[in-house]
Chain A
C-alpha cells in the first residue's frame, strides 16, 4: 500500500513526455525501419539516434564482412523463414544488400555463421529501435 503510494508519487514527479504530431507515430517507425536510428533523429533525439544508427549499422556491416548469409524470402524451413524475418528488420541495409547481391555466406570460414547471426540480430535490434521511436512519438517515453 505504502509502496504503491510512493511509486505513484514518483511517477507524478517525472516530467510528462509530450506527444509529437499524430503523423509522427506512423512516420517515425517507418523511417526507423528504413534507416536504423533515423526514427530518433527526426524526433531530435540526436545522441540516442546516432548510438542506435552506429550500433545497428556496424553490426550489420560486420556480419557481411564476416561472410554471413543473407536470407531471401522463402516458404520452406521455419528457421529460414525466421532468418528472413530477422534480416528484413534491418530495412534499408537489407534492401541495399539484396540489390548488390551480397551476403551469400561462406562455409569455408569458421566465423561465417557468426556473421549470419550478426545480420539477423542487427535486424531484430532495429525492430526494438522502431518500437522505441514509436513510443517517443506517442509520448509514452521522453
Chain B
C-alpha cells in the first residue's frame, strides 16, 4: 500500500502531529497545552503559506 499525499496535505499532517507533541510536552496545564499546540500549528501552517508565496514571488 502506497500513500501519495499532496505537498500541502503532507505539510498539514506534519503540522498537526508535531503541534500535538509540542503542546503536550512543552506546557503544564491543559489550557496552556491547547493554546501552545494551536500556536505551533498556526506557525507551521502559516510558514507553509509564507514559503509558498515567497517561492511564487521568486519564480515570477
A-side residues, CB < 8 A to B, are 14, 48, 51-52, 54-56, 58-59, 62, 65-67, 106, 109-111, 114, 117-118, 121-122, 125, 128-129, 131-132, 141-142
Check: B48 CB closer than 8 A to any chain A CB. no
Q: Is A58 a contact partner of B25 (Cβ separation < 8 A)?
A: no
Measured as residues with beta carbon below 8 angstroms from the partner, the interface class of chain B is 10 to 19
Chain A, Cβ-Cβ closest to B16: A55
Q: Which residue of B lies closest to A132 (CB)?
A: B25
CB-based contact B4/A129 at 8 Å: no
A131 pairs with B5, CB closer than 8 A: no
- A66 lies within 8 A of B17 (CB): no
State A56–B21 Cα separation when bound (angstroms): 8
Q: Are B25 and A129 in contact (CB under 8 A)?
A: yes
Q: Which residue in A48, A65, A109, A142 is a CB contact (below 8 Å) of B24?
A: A48
B2 to chain A, nearest CB (A): 6
A65→B20 contact, CB < 8 A: no
Given that A55-B17, A66-B10 are known contacts, is A111 also in contact with B5, CB under 8 Å in the complex? Answer: yes
- A40 — nearest CB in chain B belongs to which residue? B24
